[in-house]
């Protein structure tokens, strides 16, 4: 299903569109900055500086410089390595024996070392490039300090200490604080074999680059009001604490309110739950709900319900609940009955002290109230697709889950081992608990999860697949794309349009263009350029700060006051802290403190007037972005700030520290009025965008003038940019990837954007500036095909290099191993070993052809016995590896690398290089989602030319424009044409015209006219064939064209005779097996309908698997020819009197033999039916087989 | 049709500008087919010499072998000899394997970087076995002697320890087979424009209107005489047939104020050569090749047989 997305990053958004995102909360917002007396306002107005647009663009590169483009991954991983891992270990720090509590092991500290590997007992430092080349995992040891005691069996029971004990290895994210590349400059990176433009943010696991995709989830510990399948309104909370994870739902069904919890067999009345928690008086609940009789009347049926059930006291309620409880609950060891369920599983994110249920009651009532609000007023429903209700789970969080599980398992294992040992009384050696730390389980567990992408953490009921993905190195931009990709929470098959639609709250956070087509459309998203994803921040200081700022603590308030109309609830990360009478003042105070750097930069304060709440969030996974703060619509950033930035006195951090810029998350954006440009700011404006083009992501940032294109075109280009060939990285020639596509002469686009410069696409481009004539030519350009100029191809246009890796392992056995063998000239296949060197390996620079041997080695004939024989007496046989390539292709052996793999076997890798020039059928694309194949290649002299001598490189059919509406492409052509004539790169950043980051068509035309071109970019061309002028003026100029990885050479396939399948003797399937093209069921149907019986016979029998069988006319079973006596025999009748021969498809014969023999089915009678009716493929045979057996 | 009418015309060439690698001339009294034939031949059929076969002995540079071979092929070589050389495919002396002096020229390149500076391997490092066939030297040309020492066309850059050693064989070929054999960088022609200004009507215009007419052309075709204040044609050949002036005049409501026609029988040629042959030589060679082609048509038996079909034209081709 393709869902049309309404993603329209248009210019008009600048004018009117922003209100839908930012709801102005004018009341009180001016609070701290404006004096209230009217006389002063005028003065202030006069004193205000004259509005002039400060070019804040410079902030973007500055932001990206300190942040990098994948900061979200790095931050998350750093947080895990520095903080989270310590927390996990501290929470599970003691392993003690059940039998003897004096035997214990305690972790004192944990930290991650530098990436290294231990080879034969020697520790060797690792670099990422080394790991890539030799299939290793880039990991660092996890060190712990331990304190342990080996028990009191008369021996000393003093605790002993050990330092720097390794408990496992942690894969290290590249460029994170634990990585060797951290803080290195360009030159140092080059020395380590690393590309300076590579963003990092991924792992190297077993030589593969793996990135942990960002996982999108509904936020935890928050009340979400929505409807269930039946349309009942419900309030749900996904609780998640270190101890438990559970989902609590309060649902209104037939006017009665129920609690739905997994631990109860069916929904229980909410009033019973309230009573069970100690709120026995209905009045108390009603009081808490608020004075408005509407709420009380909504609750009335529920109150009646509980009375009907005869539940009045806490004791009765608990007994009632006990009956509804699922019994199998031994996970927490002790079983506390219904009270335990309410304590541990019912909204466990509300911590309790001494079975005091007051806070839980309050929370439940708040849930009830929110739900009732939604019943009374549908607007109060929460939108699940709203980005503010989402959390992004990053690599750090995912790894910490995994680590916690593995760490606990390791401790359990340790405990088990110790107990097993202690159980045996007669111990020969001294018992030492520290010896039993198993360090492999963590290493292997982490490595396996990263390399398979399967997160199976049964402890947290987490079974997810496809968490990691290989970093696609098809193009430089493709690698970025993998790093910013957000994978969805739902399965892709869901046929709902809601989550797929473009959310207005995505503005500035998630790219509106970059999403795949097809089933994952709109579900898989990408981060925008300036998005930051937060990490967890400590709640305690914020809590105490809130109380300092006048929040009245919840426990001090009466029930009545909970929803009293004159104050707001203060909620921190879903926890109700208390109430505040002057929420706006409180919010402003918090914000001022944040701007002053007293509270974390990413803490968000959001006043929700509708819910009468102030939400403070410091949890991880929120998306936020930097914005310029404005006071009364006057930007805090002045010209001198930008000048200081330019002079290098300032950096982005100082802007942040001085309160000129702040990060807003999606919720807090609702409290802000954000002006797109300084000039548009009114006095109510609180923030100003840094640059509008930052709402797009990296992939969409490559498109010039995307705001002039039809929106799906930009989406198409986002997908295609990842397939474009070009330079991958500075170290591209030192990489040993399975497949590398490179362009011989990549160029930087003549029409660039700011994003291109920021990400380094101008240094590692993937395309060439082709002079394109938009005209019809030769008829080989229909349906988006392009006509190419042969001379341009001769000169290197679209020339690409394809490199493939082949590898071989020299296996080690016990006592023997594979070895290289020297090829000899007298070998029987001497012509095939021509490219081999003396060592039996293909030598670099040799042309390798189909069937050539590229590796010759000797393997022991019998590796099992080899360990007992003398090395000189081991018998070897030669083994060869032959190259399978296309006939007529001339690839070259580029490199041969030898390394040892993980099992310490010698591993040989060959890179095979093939240089290709474009041919008919190769796929090309401009940057506007306009792909097409090369339709024909035509000599230069036949190409049209202008009187200046300009001759296009390719011709594109004008029919590509009207329906696609890619106006951006036309402007790109104009801009590039002006660019080449005046010698300057022109810009086409998204929405860049007002701020000068995109050239206006008017200016471009002026430049064109100045250089003697027509203002509209059209030229007067002569036909190259006749020499006469063409009838029309031709729109001609350079457009950046990408060559895509799909090439005919890799796809074309035809076969006459060829290999057949072993069992059915039918032709093989698929190009890789040189298979035939199947005449399938539908094709067969057509032929039958047409009555071409001979053609069917020929296709399905003669050309497939004809076979001659001997059939007994009498019994109808298959016989055989006895070749000795040259007679035909029926094995059932034991004679050959009634034999006939007939032709059958072999698969048919197989069917009879396999299935019908036992049934004694008369072949002759079945035959005509089967042969004529349908031609069963092997698949059908197997199906039948299943049915019959 | 008048059977006696002769199709014969006497084209004339008037040279306007002639530099080593640049020529501009007028071709008159002929039609587009002849002019275009000349252009096409110059691009694709005038033979030059270019490197065609590369044997790489050592290559430790960053560029791979095919890459370097491709770059070598595109280096223009001085090809004055090309017209008299043989194509290696029909060379008797070497059975077409392209190793003899009649059809091929051998080049050697040896470069190794031994110090810390990057070494640019350029076309100057190619040593030719034949002093008449060498890489084109641009050092004397305008625009190239910008103070720095001109080192020819860069083939590859080497850093310390990298080496490039190869043997290359250059052969004669034509641009049709590969663009590297094309001697022409730019060959183009245009119809000579004929611009008429209706002086009487122009007189009726104000100075402002006159300037607007002048400025409507993106190229500087018209100008206003500072003395007489009259619109006059400054450079008719700057006109790119863009019709802008005509549109302007139309919009002003004065059709016929300016009229522009293309002279269908005169062409202005611009020829730029890659340096392989002199621009003037390129034209002459092209005419030679064109003649040979016509000869081939005339001499072929088929032509004689089909003479009747061609009729007058056949006789014309035979020089009648």
Name the residue among B32, B219, B240 with its Cβ closest to that of A1026: B32
**Cα A624 to the center of its chain, rounded Å:** 19
Sign of CA dihedral B49, B53, B57, B62: positive
Average pLDDT over residues A180-184: 89
Secondary element (H or E) of residue B193: strand B184-197
> Do residues A861 and A788 share a domain?
no
Q: Do A845 and B238 touch (CB under 8 A)?
A: no
CATH number at residue A712: 2.40.270.10
Beta bridge partners of A144: A110, A165
> Do residues A147 and A239 share a domain?
no
Check residue B7 and report its DSSP letter: -
Q: Which of A575, A540, A582, A539 is nearest to A555 (CA)?
A: A575
Predicted pLDDT of residue A35: 38
Looking at A453, A487, A521, which one is the last position of a domain?
A487
Check residue A935 and report its DSSP letter: E
State the nearest Cα–Cα gap between B54 and chain A, in angstroms.
13
Cβ pairs bridging A and B (under 8 Å): 100
Chain B partners within 8 Å of A801 (Cβ): 64, 66-67
Q: Which of A527, A402, A400 is nearest to A464 (CA)?
A: A402
Q: Between B318 and A693, whose confidence is greater?
A: A693
> Do residues A806 and A884 share a domain?
yes
Place of tokens 């330019």: A646
In a domain? residue A663: no
pLDDT digits (tens, 9 = 90+) for B268-279: 999 999 989 999
In a domain? residue A644: no
User: Which stretch of A353-357, A668-672, A728-732 has the lowest confidence by average pLDDT?
Assistant: A353-357
Looking at A352, A374, A390, which one is the last position of a domain?
A390
CATH number at residue A334: 3.90.1110.10
Name the residue among B36, B67, B180 with its Cβ closest to that of A1026: B36
Predicted pLDDT of residue A4: 41
Average pLDDT over residues A69-76: 86
Q: Between B272 and A256, whose confidence is greater?
A: B272
Place of tokens 């300036």: A530
Q: CA A757 → CA A151, A211, A753, A850, A977, distances in Å?
A: 65, 24, 7, 43, 20
d(CA A702, CA A754): 9
Average pLDDT over residues A400-423: 84
Chain A partners within 8 Å of B36 (Cβ): 1022, 1024-1027
Mutation target vs B (from A1022, A1025, A1026, A1034; most B CBs, 10 A cutoff):
A1022
In a domain? residue A40: no
CATH number at residue A568: 3.90.1070.20
Predicted pLDDT of residue A53: 60
Q: Do A940 and B179 touch (CB under 8 A)?
A: yes
> Do residues A1002 and A1106 share a domain?
no
User: Which range, A32-41, A56-65, B268-277, is most confident?
Assistant: B268-277
Average pLDDT over residues A523-549: 89
Q: Report whether pLDDT(A1188) > 50.
A: no
> Do residues A885 and A928 share a domain?
no
Predicted pLDDT of residue A34: 37
> Do residues A263 and A367 share a domain?
yes
> Do residues A222 and A351 share a domain?
yes
Check residue A80 and report its DSSP letter: I
Q: Which of A1053, A794, A789, A786 is nearest to A923 (CA)?
A: A786
- Mean pLDDT for all residues in chain A: 83
Q: Report whether pLDDT(A156) > 60.
A: no
Predicted pLDDT of residue B310: 59
Q: Do A794 and B65 touch (CB under 8 A)?
A: no
> Do residues A88 and A206 share a domain?
yes
Chain B partners within 8 Å of A948 (Cβ): 186, 188
Residues spanned by the domain of A996:
702-736+743-798+920-1043
Number of domains comprising chain A: 6
> Do residues A227 and A365 share a domain?
yes
Mutation target vs B (from A735, A740, A794, A1036; most B CBs, 10 A cutoff):
A794
Q: Do A941 and B64 touch (CB under 8 A)?
A: no
Question: Over its length of 320 residues, how does chain B's per-residue pLDDT go in tens digits?
Answer: 445 667 778 889 999 999 888 999 999 999 889 999 999 999 999 999 999 999 999 999 999 999 999 999 999 999 888 888 888 877 777 765 657 777 888 999 999 999 999 999 988 899 998 888 999 887 665 555 554 566 788 999 999 999 999 999 998 899 999 999 999 999 999 998 888 888 888 888 888 888 888 888 888 888 888 888 888 888 888 888 878 888 888 888 888 888 888 888 889 999 999 989 999 999 999 999 999 988 888 777 665 666 666 566 655 555 54
> Do residues A1095 and A1134 share a domain?
yes
Q: Between A28 and B261, whose confidence is greater?
A: B261
> Do residues A353 and A440 share a domain?
no
SS3 of B11-66: CEEEEEEECCCEEEEEEECCCHHHHHHHHHHHHHCCCEEEEEEEEEEEECCCCCHH
Predicted pLDDT of residue A1001: 93
Q: What is the DSSP string of B102-158?
A: TTEEEEEEEEE--SSSPEEEEGGGEEESSTTS-BPP-TTSTTT-SSSPP---EEEEE
Predicted pLDDT of residue A152: 57
**How much of chain A, in percent, has pLDDT values that exceed 70?**
89
In a domain? residue A453: yes
User: Which stretch of A403-412, A640-649, A863-872, B276-285 has the lowest confidence by average pLDDT?
Assistant: A863-872
Q: Report whether pLDDT(A1175) > 50.
A: no
Contact call for residues A1153 and A1118 (beta carbons, < 8 A): yes
Sign of CA dihedral B245, B248, B250, B256: negative
- Structural domains in chain B, CATH included, are 48-180 (2.170.120.12), 199-256 (3.30.70)
Q: Do B240 and A1014 touch (CB under 8 A)?
A: yes
State the nearest Cα–Cα gap between A884 and chain B, in angstroms.
21
> Do residues A200 and A258 share a domain?
no
**Cα A541 to the center of its chain, rounded Å:** 34
Q: Which of B267, B193, B199 is nearest to B235 (CA)?
A: B193
Predicted pLDDT of residue A1183: 41
Secondary element (H or E) of residue A1089: helix A1081-1090
A320 SS3 class: helix
Chain B partners within 8 Å of A1024 (Cβ): 36, 40
Q: Which of A256, A134, A150 is nearest to A193 (CA)?
A: A134
Chain B partners within 8 Å of A733 (Cβ): 62
Contact call for residues A988 and A755 (beta carbons, < 8 A): no
Q: Report whether pLDDT(A626) > 60.
A: yes
In a domain? residue A62: no
Beta bridge partners of A853: A882
pLDDT digits (tens, 9 = 90+) for A258-273: 888 888 888 888 888 8
* A976-999 burial: b if 16+ Cβ within 10 Å, else e: bbbbbeeeebbbbbbbbbbbebbb
Q: CA A61 → CA A65, A67, A157, A423, A513, distances in Å?
A: 6, 9, 61, 65, 22
pLDDT digits (tens, 9 = 90+) for A88-139: 888 888 888 777 777 788 888 899 999 988 877 788 888 999 888 888 899 9
In a domain? residue A1139: yes
ipTM above 0.95, yes or no: no
d(CA A1139, CA A904): 63
Q: Maximum Cα–Cα distance for chain B, whole Å?
A: 80
In a domain? residue A22: no
Predicted pLDDT of residue A16: 36
Residue A12 banded pLDDT, cuts 50, 70, 90: very low
Predicted pLDDT of residue A151: 64
Predicted pLDDT of residue A1172: 38
Predicted pLDDT of residue B35: 92
With CA atoms as reference, the chain B residue closest to A939 would be: B176
State the nearest Cα–Cα gap between A1018 and chain B, in angstroms.
9
Looking at A373, A390, A407, which one is the last position of a domain?
A390
In a domain? residue A524: no
Predicted pLDDT of residue A749: 94
Q: Report whether pLDDT(A330) > 70.
A: no
Q: CA A428 → CA A421, A425, A1073, distances in Å?
A: 11, 9, 62
pLDDT digits (tens, 9 = 90+) for A217-229: 888 888 888 888 8
Q: Which of A760, A730, A757 is nearest to A189 (CA)?
A: A730
Average pLDDT over residues A230-240: 86
Q: Report whether pLDDT(A40) > 70.
A: no
Average pLDDT over residues A439-444: 84
Predicted pLDDT of residue A1179: 39
């Amino acid at each position: 299903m393709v869902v049309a997305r309404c993603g329209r990053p248009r210019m008009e958004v600048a004018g009117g569109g922003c209100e839908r995102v930012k709801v102005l909360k004018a009341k009180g917002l001016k609070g701290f900055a404006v004096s209230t007396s009217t006389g002063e306002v005028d003065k202030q107005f006069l004193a205000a500086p004259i509005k002039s647009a400060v070019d804040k663009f410079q902030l973007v590169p500055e932001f990206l410089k300190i942040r990098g483009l994948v900061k979200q991954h790095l931050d998350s991983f750093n947080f895990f390595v520095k903080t989270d891992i310590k927390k996990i270990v501290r929470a599970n720090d003691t392993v003690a024996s059940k039998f003897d509590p004096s035997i214990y092991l305690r972790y004192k500290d944990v930290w991650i070392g530098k990436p290294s590997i231990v080879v034969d007992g020697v520790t060797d430092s690792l670099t990422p490039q080394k790991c890539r080349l030799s299939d290793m995992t880039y990991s660092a040891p996890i060190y712990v300090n331990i304190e342990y005691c080996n028990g009191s069996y008369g021996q000393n029971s003093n605790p002993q200490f050990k330092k720097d004990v390794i408990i496992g290895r942690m894969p290290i994210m590249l460029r994170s604080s634990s990585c060797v590349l951290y803080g290195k400059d360009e030159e140092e990176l080059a020395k380590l074999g690393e590309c300076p433009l590579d963003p990092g943010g991924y792992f190297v696991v077993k030589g593969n680059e793996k990135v942990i995709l960002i996982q999108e989830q509904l936020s935890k510990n928050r009340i979400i009001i929505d409807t269930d399948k039946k349309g009942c309104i419900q309030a749900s909370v996904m609780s998640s604490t270190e101890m438990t994870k559970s989902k609590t739902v309060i649902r209104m069904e037939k006017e009665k309110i129920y609690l739905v919890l997994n631990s109860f067999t069916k929904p229980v009345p909410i009033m019973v739950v309230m009573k069970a928690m100690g709120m026995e008086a209905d009045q108390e609940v009603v009081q808490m709900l608020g004075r408005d009789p509407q709420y009380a009347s909504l609750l009335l049926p529920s109150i009646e319900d509980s009375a009907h059930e005869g539940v009045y006291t806490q004791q009765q309620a608990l007994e009632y609940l006990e009956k509804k409880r699922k019994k199998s609950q031994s996970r927490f060891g002790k079983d506390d009955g219904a009270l335990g369920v309410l304590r541990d599983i019912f909204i466990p994110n509300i911590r309790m002290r001494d079975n005091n249920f007051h806070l839980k009651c309050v929370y439940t009532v708040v849930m009830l109230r929110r739900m009732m609000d939604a019943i009374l007023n549908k607007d109060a429903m929460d939108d699940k697709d709203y980005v503010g209700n989402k959390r992004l789970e990053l690599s750090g969080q995912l790894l910490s889950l995994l680590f916690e599980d593995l760490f606990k398992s390791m401790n359990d294992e340790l405990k088990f081992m110790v107990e097993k040992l202690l159980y045996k009384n007669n111990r020969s050696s001294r018992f030492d608990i520290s010896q039993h730390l198993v360090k492999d389980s963590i290493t292997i567990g982490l490595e396996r999860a990263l390399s398979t992408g399967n997160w199976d953490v049964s402890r947290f009921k987490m079974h997810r697949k496809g968490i990691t993905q290989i970093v696609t190195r098809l193009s430089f931009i493709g690698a970025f794309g993998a790093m910013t990709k957000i994978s969805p929470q739902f399965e892709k098959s869901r046929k709902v349009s809601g989550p797929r639609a473009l959310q207005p709250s995505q503005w500035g956070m998630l790219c509106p263009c970059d999403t795949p087509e097809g089933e994952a459309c709109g579900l898989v998203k990408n981060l925008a350029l300036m998005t930051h994803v937060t990490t967890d921040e400590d709640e305690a200081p914020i809590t105490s700060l809130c109380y300092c700022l006048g929040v009245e603590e919840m426990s001090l308030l009466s029930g009545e006051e909970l929803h009293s109309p004159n104050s707001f609830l203060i909620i921190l990360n879903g926890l109700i802290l208390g109430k505040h009478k002057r929420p706006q003042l409180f919010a402003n105070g918090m914000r001022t403190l944040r701007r002053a750097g007293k509270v974390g930069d990413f803490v968000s304060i959001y006043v929700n007037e509708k819910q009468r709440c102030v939400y403070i969030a410091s949890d991880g996974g929120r998306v936020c972005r930097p914005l310029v703060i404005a006071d009364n619509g006057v930007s805090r950033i002045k010209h001198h700030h930008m000048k200081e930035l330019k002079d290098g006195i300032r950096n982005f951090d100082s802007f942040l520290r001085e309160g000129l810029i702040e990060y807003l998350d999606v919720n807090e954006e609702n409290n802000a009025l954000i002006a797109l440009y300084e000039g548009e700011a009114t006095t109510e404006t609180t923030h100003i965008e840094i640059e509008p083009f930052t709402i797009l992501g990296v992939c969409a940032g490559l498109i010039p003038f995307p705001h002039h294109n039809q929106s799906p075109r930009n989406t198409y280009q986002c997908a295609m940019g990842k397939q474009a060939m070009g330079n991958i990285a500075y170290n591209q020639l030192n990489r040993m990837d399975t497949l590398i596509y490179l362009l011989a002469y990549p160029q930087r686009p003549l029409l660039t954007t700011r994003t291109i410069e920021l990400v380094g696409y101008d240094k590692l481009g993937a395309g060439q500036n082709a002079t394109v004539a938009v005209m019809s030519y030769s008829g080989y350009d229909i349906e988006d095909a392009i006509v190419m100029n042969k001379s341009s191809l001769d000169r290197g246009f679209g020339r690409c290099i394809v490199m493939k890796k082949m590898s071989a392992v020299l296996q080690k056995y016990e006592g023997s191993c594979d070895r290289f063998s020297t090829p000899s000239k007298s070998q029987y296949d001497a012509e095939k070993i021509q490219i081999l060197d003396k060592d039996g390996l293909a030598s670099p620079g040799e042309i390798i052809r189909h069937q050539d041997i590229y590796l010759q080695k000797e393997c022991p004939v019998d590796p099992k016995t080899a360990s007992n024989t003398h090395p000189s007496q081991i018998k070897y046989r030669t083994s060869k590896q032959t190259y399978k390539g296309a006939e007529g292709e001339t690839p070259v052996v580029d490199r041969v690398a030898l390394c040892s793999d993980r099992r310490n076997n010698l591993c040989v890798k060959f890179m095979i290089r093939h240089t290709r020039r474009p041919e008919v059928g190769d796929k090309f694309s401009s940057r506007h989602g306009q792909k097409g194949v090369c339709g024909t290649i035509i000599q230069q002299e036949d190409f049209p030319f202008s009187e200046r001598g300009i001759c296009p490189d390719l011709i594109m059919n004008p029919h590509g424009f009207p329906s696609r509406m890619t106006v951006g492409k036309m402007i790109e052509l104009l801009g590039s044409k002006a660019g080449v004539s005046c010698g300057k790169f022109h810009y086409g950043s998204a929405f860049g015209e007002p701020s000068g980051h995109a050239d206006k068509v008017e200016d471009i035309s002026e430049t064109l006219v100045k250089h003697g071109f027509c203002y509209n970019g059209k030229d007067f061309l002569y036909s190259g064939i006749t020499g006469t002028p063409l009838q029309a003026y031709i729109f001609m100029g350079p457009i950046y064209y990408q060559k895509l990885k799909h090439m005919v050479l890799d796809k074309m396939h035809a076969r006459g005779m060829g290999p057949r399948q072993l069992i059915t003797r039918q032709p093989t399937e698929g190009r890789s097996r040189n298979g035939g093209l199947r005449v399938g069921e539908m094709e067969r149907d057509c032929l039958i309908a047409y009555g071409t019986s001979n053609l069917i016979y020929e296709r399905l029998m003669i050309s497939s698997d004809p076979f001659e069988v001997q059939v007994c006319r009498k019994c109808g079973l298959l016989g055989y020819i006895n070749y000795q006596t040259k007679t035909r025999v029926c094995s059932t009748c034991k004679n050959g009197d009634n034999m006939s021969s007939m032709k059958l498809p072999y698969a048919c014969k197989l069917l009879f033999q396999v299935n019908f023999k036992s049934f004694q089915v008369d072949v002759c009678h079945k035959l005509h039916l089967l042969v004529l009716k349908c031609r069963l493929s092997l698949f059908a045979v197997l199906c039948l087989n299943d049915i019959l057996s | 049709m008048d059977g006696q009418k002769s199709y014969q015309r006497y084209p004339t060439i008037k040279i306007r500008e002639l530099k080593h690698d640049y020529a501009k001339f007028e071709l008159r009294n002929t039609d587009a087919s002849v002019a275009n034939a000349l252009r096409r031949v110059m691009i694709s059929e005038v033979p030059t010499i270019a490197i065609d076969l590369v044997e790489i002995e050592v290559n430790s540079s960053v560029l791979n072998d095919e890459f370097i071979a491709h770059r070598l092929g595109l280096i223009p070589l001085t090809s004055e000899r090309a017209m008299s050389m043989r194509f290696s495919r029909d060379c008797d002396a070497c059975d077409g394997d392209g190793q003899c002096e009649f059809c091929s020229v051998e080049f050697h390149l040896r470069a190794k970087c031994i110090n810390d500076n990057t070494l640019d391997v350029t076309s100057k490092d190619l040593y030719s076995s034949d002093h008449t066939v060498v890489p084109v030297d641009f050092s004397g040309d305008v625009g190239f002697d910008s103070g720095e020492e001109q080192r020819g066309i860069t083939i590859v850059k080497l850093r310390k320890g990298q080496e490039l050693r190869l043997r290359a064989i250059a052969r004669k070929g034509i641009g049709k087979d590969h663009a590297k054999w094309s001697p022409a960088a730019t060959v183009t022609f245009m119809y000579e424009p004929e611009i008429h200004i209706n002086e009487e009507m122009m007189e009726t215009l104000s100075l402002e209107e006159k300037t607007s007419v002048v400025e409507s052309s993106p190229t500087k075709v018209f100008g206003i005489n500072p003395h007489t204040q009259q619109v006059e044609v400054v450079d008719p050949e700057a006109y790119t047939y863009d019709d802008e002036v005509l549109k302007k005049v139309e919009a002003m409501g004065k059709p016929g104020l300016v009229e522009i026609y293309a002279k269908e029988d005169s062409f202005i040629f611009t020829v730029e050569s890659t340096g392989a042959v002199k621009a003037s030589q390129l034209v002459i060679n092209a005419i030679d090749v064109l003649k040979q082609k016509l000869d081939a048509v005339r001499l072929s038996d088929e032509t004689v047989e089909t003479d009747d079909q061609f009729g007058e034209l056949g006789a014309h081709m035979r020089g009648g």
